[in-house]
């Protein structure tokens, strides 16, 4: 099978870009493994703190923070052709096909600013996505360096999600947490003084249902990675009693450790 060029070199295309890729893959990388782009997946259920940790971890490691959810929202806001296709699916209540999610992720990884590698925030979400991602990375001569799976207790997740509040001003959209990051004035956004509200999917019973769904849907992904990526898979159990700095330290240590099966 023909191997595709990787990361920023694909965005420029052409013979010289591909020749440069082959030289790196077969000459530079074997001699200097540290020159390979680093790709780390950060997984976990709703409220696990993937985005927070990825936002802290990426600059600490000199990598990019890549969230497929954020990328998709950006495409929709910009009304690109891709964004319009995704918006049409969302408005019909349909899930975004795995191949479409992978397409936008590949585009992000090909961007020059992500050439050193990236923290993949919440991707893959399913076994099918994991298989597709492995195939793409293998075709680029790469693989996931580490898969860090954040697993919190249901009680901690419910506390995190049920106490979230969001600004009603859509152009602001700032989020708060009544316990961990409350607004200065109860019920009022610090940034724009608009009222805050609780999203429907942050209601306690809805949260418990989301967690049940996540547990069922993530089981095949968990089994796949335990069977194929045992050496790079690490499960962590942060708690709400831990500070952000403590969780970050735990994740950072895990990245430099050997994977373990659970």
For this structure, is 50 an active site residue? Answer: yes
Q: Give yes or no for residue 261 having a pLDDT over 60.
A: no
For this structure, is 200 an active site residue? Answer: no
User: Is 68 inside any structural domain?
Assistant: yes
For this structure, is 165 an active site residue? Answer: no
Catalytic residue among 38, 174, 210, 244: 210
Catalytic residue among 36, 106, 127, 164: 164
Query: What pLDDT does residue 111 have?
Result: 79
Query: What pLDDT does residue 7 have?
Result: 44
Listed as own residue / partner, the contacts of 207-214 with beta carbons closer than 8 Å and 24 or more positions apart are 207/46, 207/47, 207/157, 207/158, 207/161, 207/162, 208/154, 208/158, 210/46, 211/45, 211/46, 211/154, 211/157, 211/158, 214/45, 214/46
Query: What pLDDT does residue 11 have?
Result: 44
Closest of 220, 224, 225, 174 to residue 196, by C-alpha:
174
Tokens coding 143:
């693989």
| Neighbouring C-alpha atoms within 13 Å toward the C-beta of 1 | 9
For this structure, is 164 an active site residue? Answer: yes
CA–CA separation, 99 vs 179, rounded Å? 39
Q: Give yes or no for residue 196 having a pLDDT over 80.
A: yes
Q: Give yes or no for residue 108 having a pLDDT over 50.
A: yes
Residues near 104 by Cβ (< 8 Å), separated by ≥ 6? Answer: 68, 71, 72, 75, 82
Q: Give yes or no for residue 244 having a pLDDT over 60.
A: yes
For this structure, is 222 an active site residue? Answer: no
**Mean pLDDT, range 201-223, rounded to an integer:** 92
Cα distances from 50 to residues 65, 107, 217, in angstroms, run 11, 21, 18
Assign 31 a pLDDT band (cuts: 50, 70, 90).
confident
Catalytic residue among 36, 106, 125, 165: 125
User: Is 192 inside any structural domain?
Assistant: no
Q: Give yes or no for residue 164 having a pLDDT over 80.
A: yes
CA–CA separation, 184 vs 108, rounded Å? 37
When comparing pLDDT for 18 and 52, which is higher? 52
Query: What pLDDT does residue 21 have?
Result: 64
CA–CA separation, 63 vs 85, rounded Å? 29
**Mean pLDDT, range 50-73, rounded to an integer:** 92
CA–CA separation, 75 vs 33, rounded Å? 34
Tokens coding 47:
């409220």
How much is the mean pLDDT over the chain? Answer: 86
User: Is 117 inside any structural domain?
Assistant: yes
Query: What pLDDT does residue 18 have?
Result: 62
Residues near 109 by Cβ (< 8 Å), separated by ≥ 6? Answer: 6, 7, 39, 66, 118
Catalytic residue among 24, 36, 50, 160: 50
Q: Which residues of 19-41 are buried (b: 16+ CB within 10 A; e: fewer)?
A: eebeebbeeebeeeeeebbbbbb
Query: What pLDDT does residue 89 have?
Result: 87
Query: Taking a C-beta distance cutoff of 8 angstroms, is the pair 50, 61 a contact?
Result: no
pTM: 0.82
Query: What pLDDT does residue 3 have?
Result: 37
User: Is 165 inside any structural domain?
Assistant: no
| Neighbouring C-alpha atoms within 13 Å toward the C-beta of 71 | 22
When comparing pLDDT for 257 and 141, which is higher? 141
Q: Which residue in the block uniquely carries the two structure tokens 């249901």?
A: 154
The CATH number that applies at residue 115 is: 3.40.50.300
CA–CA separation, 219 vs 222, rounded Å? 5
What's the domain range around 98?
7-24+36-153+222-255
Query: What pLDDT does residue 17 have?
Result: 58
User: Is 143 inside any structural domain?
Assistant: yes
When comparing pLDDT for 182 and 22, which is higher? 182
User: Is 244 inside any structural domain?
Assistant: yes
Structural domain count, the chain: 1
Query: What pLDDT does residue 133 have?
Result: 95
Catalytic residue among 199, 212, 258, 261: 199
When comparing pLDDT for 69 and 155, which is higher? 155
């Amino acid at each position: 099978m023909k191997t595709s060029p990787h990361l920023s070199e694909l965005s420029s295309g052409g013979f010289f870009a591909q020749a440069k890729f082959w030289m790196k893959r077969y000459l530079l990388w074997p001699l200097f493994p540290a020159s390979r782009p680093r790709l780390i997946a950060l997984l976990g259920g709703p409220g696990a703190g993937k985005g927070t940790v990825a936002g802290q971890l990426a600059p600490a490691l000199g990598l990019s923070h890549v969230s497929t959810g954020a990328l998709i929202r950006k495409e929709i806001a910009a009304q690109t052709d891709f964004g319009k296709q995704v918006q049409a699916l969302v408005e019909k209540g349909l899930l975004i096909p795995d191949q479409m999610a992978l397409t936008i992720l590949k585009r992000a990884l090909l961007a020059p600013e992500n050439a050193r590698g990236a923290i993949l925030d919440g991707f893959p979400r399913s076994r099918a996505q994991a298989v597709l991602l492995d195939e793409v990375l293998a075709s680029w001569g790469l693989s996931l360096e580490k898969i860090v799976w954040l697993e919190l207790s249901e009680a901690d997740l419910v506390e995190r999600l049920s106490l979230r509040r969001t600004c009603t001003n859509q152009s602001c959209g700032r989020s708060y947490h009544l316990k961990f990051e409350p607004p200065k004035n109860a019920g009022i956004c610090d940034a724009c003084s608009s009222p805050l509200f609780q999203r429907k999917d942050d209601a306690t019973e809805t949260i418990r249902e989301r967690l049940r769904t996540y547990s069922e849907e993530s089981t095949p992904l968990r089994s796949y990675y335990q069977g194929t990526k045992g050496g790079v898979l690490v499960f962590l159990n942060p708690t709400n009693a831990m500070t952000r700095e403590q969780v970050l330290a735990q994740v950072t240590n895990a990245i430099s450790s050997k994977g373990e099966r659970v």
